[in-house]
Structure 1
């Protein structure tokens, strides 16, 4: 109904009596809108680019620190053999606890039982072959770098993170 009413009103209007729009004023409004919008977009793009550059610089610093940390870790000789020493230390700790709890008669039996797991540990470490390209990543995990971060680094370098995880589990 509104369309019909508006059409009827339009037919009754005398367009010669209505003043024309001021073309210069309309053009000035459009120009002002375009100019302010372009200025806003330019400043926004500059701010975004500056923030992106700052983020990129921070990321480069973190990467440089990571490289330095990896170099420092590779220079420490004790980190090269942590798997063997850790498993031997754990077996020694458990043997001390067990031997304290047992009586003198059963100490001999406990020592015999304890000798067998050490042989098994050496066999399992001998069975698991650690590939040289994964050694530095194993060091990172042992030092305390989160496993997910190390997996990401491995995948960035084009290696298989699943294979690395299977090496850690062994």
Structure 2
């Protein structure tokens, strides 16, 4: 087949019905492909969304468990530190020495509102050394309550 000698302007035009059929077929196949592609993408997005929701739920559960463990660790650590730091003998010895100095310093003081609950604990019958240990774990001065006892 020799195309060098042919002039394309001399060729007869393509049949219009045939050209319209080709274009319609191309448009239909393209639309079907795009619809199928969009449907597949949407299904994958839905699957990923479900996976993400289940992961979020699992993450919330794990965070709640970790938060409860941290709360338990904090109270357990405070409880384990409390007896090892101060024995009752040490508390009694420091109480006797500190009583004189605290009474002199707090003779004209009013009760600090931060210590109200500790005074209530003593009134209910909690032993004073235990109350002082509790005050010490919360970072307050345990000798402060001696001035008001």
User: TM-score surpassing 0.5?
Assistant: no
Q: Higher relative contact order at CA 8 Å, sep ≥6: structure 1 or structure 2? A: 2
TM-score range, shorter chain: 0.3 to 0.5
TM-score (norm 2): 0.42
TM-score (norm 1): 0.38
